[in-house]
Structure formats: C-alpha cells, structure tokens
C-alpha cells in the first residue's frame, strides 16, 4: 500500500504561502490531505503519466519532471486546479520511492519559475530528494 509523506520544508513553504495566497494554499493543503487518504489512487498515481484526475477533489494533473528524471530522480509535478477548473499559480513536487512505495511531498513553487533548473529552488528540490535517500532510477541518455 502506498503512503504519502510531507517533509518539514514543504510544510514551512505551505505555511508561508498561506500568508501570500490563502486560496491556493488551501487548495494545495486539501489536495495533499485527500491524496494521503486515498490509498487506492496513490497505488496507481505514478502509472501512465501524464494524466489528469478531473474527478478528484481538488482536481489535478500529474507529470514527470523530466529534468529530474534525466538525473535519476523520480520526481513528479502536481498541477492543482481551482473549483472553476483553472490551473493555480503553483506546482507541488513529489518524489517517489518505488522500493518502499512511499511518496514524499518535497516542495511547492510558483509555476512561472518552477521548471527552471538554474535556480536555487531547483537545487533545493534535488537536495531534499537526495537527503531522503530515495534510490535513483535508470538514467535516460
């Protein structure tokens, strides 16, 4: 059975986001809470991605973060939608340990810069993944 864990740094980022954007922070918090409670969905979360879970509340897309996969890190991007069906301005990054079937919520970042691999935020995402000692996957050429 899959489980979803959050790390302290993510919790701190979410708390800070409450101050700046309470609506999006609330959606992210609800998404993480609902995902953590839905073990059936977690068991299939990383299969056949990208995909859109439009019937989930709140709805979201999941995609591979290809730059991370190329370095051997199994990290996914969750793209939450608001109640009106619009993408919110943040992405949630989740690491997956296939050996233990654990997902780790690593960070929440603004969508405008979250895929830029030259940023400190990207390096922090990779550091968080590595600190958890999630095994690397086969690297792509």
Q: What is the pTM of this model?
A: 0.94
Lowest-pLDDT choice from 30-34, 38-42, 91-95, 134-138: 134-138
Whose CA is closest to 72, among 126, 109, 122? 126
Whose CA is closest to 44, among 131, 111, 128, 103? 103
Cα end-to-end span (Å), the chain:
32
Question: Sign of dihedral through CA atoms 68, 74, 75, 76?
Answer: positive
The predicted structure's pLDDT at residue 139:
54
The predicted structure's pLDDT at residue 44:
94
Per-residue model confidence as pLDDT tens digits over 55-107? 899 999 999 999 999 999 999 999 999 999 999 999 999 999 999 999 999 99
The predicted structure's pLDDT at residue 137:
82
How far apart are alpha carbons 52 and 12 in whole angstroms? Answer: 27
136: confidence class by pLDDT, cuts 50, 70, 90: confident
């Amino acid at each position: 059975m899959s489980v979803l864990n959050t790390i302290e740094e993510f919790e701190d980022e979410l708390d800070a986001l409450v101050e700046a954007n309470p609506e999006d922070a609330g959606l992210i918090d609800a998404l993480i809470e609902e995902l953590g409670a839905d073990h059936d969905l977690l068991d299939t979360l990383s299969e056949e991605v990208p995909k859109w879970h439009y019937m989930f509340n709140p709805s979201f897309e999941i995609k591979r973060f290809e730059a991370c996969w190329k370095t051997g890190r199994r990290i996914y991007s969750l793209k939450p939608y608001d109640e009106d069906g619009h993408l919110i301005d943040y992405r949630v990054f989740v690491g997956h340990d296939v050996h233990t079937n654990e997902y780790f919520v690593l960070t929440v970042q603004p969508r405008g810069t979250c895929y830029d691999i030259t940023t400190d935020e990207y390096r922090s995402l990779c550091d968080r993944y590595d600190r958890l000692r999630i095994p690397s996957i086969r690297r792509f050429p």
